[in-house]
Amino acid sequence: SQELEQSPQSLIVQEGKNLTINCTSSKTLYGLYWYKQKYGEGLIFLMMLQKGGEEKSHEKITAKLDEKKQQSSLHITASQPSHAGIYLCGADLTSGTYKYIFGTGTRLKVLA
Amino acid sequence: GAVVSQHPSWVICKSGTSVKIECRSLDFQATTMFWYRQFPKQSLMLMATSNEGSKATYEQGVEKDKFLINHASLTLSTLTVTSAHPEDSSFYICSAPIPLGQSWSSYNSPLHFGNGTRLTVT
């Protein structure tokens, strides 16, 4: 089974709608990253969360880390077609080695 | 600007040939780098940890004789796909962390990825 599960696997929303993507770990999280990607292209760094309860925002994207629940969520407010892509969470499950594994990915499509 | 450079960005090769992919840290020394593989519509899968001056550590199920990793200097790791077959066609991407103890505040995050290499084996 996957150590890092994302939900939903895919999402289609109308432009302007809010959405949330979840990333749940089966192990303790020692840092979590959110990335955006288009398949076959590089990763676009969104946010890094390191402490339980930490919340960060950038433009219309907010990410939170719930350490106790071993979970992170990514929330997009007023989605736009430019938000479309694959969202990946990556986590360090081995305490500071930066040996990151990635979640299963969430494919987002935003309809104009 | 990019702090990790990966080259080439794409390559097409014939079955049976070998292909080398380079990953360079541009303005920091990376004693460790990581190699990932991504199949279409799937997530990134960690293949191996590249260690400067020592043997790479491979994840379970990854053939070390198939995917040769060399980390000969503090700024360069290479992944060579040997005797490539069509099933090796994939997107390969490397990452390099800023060394522990070194400030990464000017880099936005301690971990950086290359832009990836799309390998097509015909």
Residue B74's H or E segment, with its range, is: none
Looking at CA atoms only, how far is residue A49 from chain B in angstroms?
Answer: 10
Q: What is the pLDDT of residue A111?
A: 95
Question: Which pLDDT does position A28 carry in this prediction?
Answer: 81
- Report the alpha-carbon distance of residue B56 to residue B71 in Å, rounded: 8
Chain A nearest CA to B96, separation (Å): 8
CA torsion B78-A42-A47-A14 (nearest 10°) is -160
Q: Is A33 on the interface with B (CB under 8 A)?
A: yes
| Contact with chain B for residue A112, Cβ under 8 A | no
Name the nearest CA neighbour of A63 among A102, A36, A28, A98.
Answer: A36
Contacts of A33 in chain B (CB under 8 A): 109, 111
Sign of the CA dihedral with B115 first, then A94, A29, and A64 last = negative
- Candidates A42, A45, A88; nearest CB to B109: A45
Give the per-residue pLDDT at B110.
79
Q: Does A34 contact B at CB distance below 8 Å?
A: no
User: Which residues in chain B come in under a pLDDT of 50?
Assistant: none
Local confidence pLDDT in tens for the 112 residues of chain A? 578 999 999 999 999 999 999 999 988 877 889 999 976 788 888 998 988 889 999 889 999 998 787 899 999 999 999 999 999 999 887 766 778 889 989 999 999 9
Q: Where are the alpha helices (DSSP H) in chain A?
A: none
If you search the block for the tokens 């290359």, which residue do you land on? B114
Say how far apart CA A60 and CA B47 lie, in whole Å: 33
Q: Give the C-alpha separation, A112 to A16, whole Å.
A: 9
Mutation site, B35, B44, B92, interface A, largest A CB count within 10 A = B44
B91 contact residues in A (CB cutoff 8 A): 39-40
Cα separation, A27 vs A8, whole angstroms:
20
Give the closest of A40, A41, A99 to B49, CB-based.
A99
Q: Do A100 and B111 touch (CB under 8 A)?
A: yes
Residue B33 belongs to what H/E stretch? strand B32-38
Task: Write down the pLDDT at residue B100.
Answer: 74
**Which among A40, A42, A39, A67 has a CA at the least distance from the CA of A55?**
A67
What is the rounded CA–CA span in Å between residue A102 and residue B95?
A: 13
Output phi, psi for B15, to 5 deg.
Answer: -55, 135
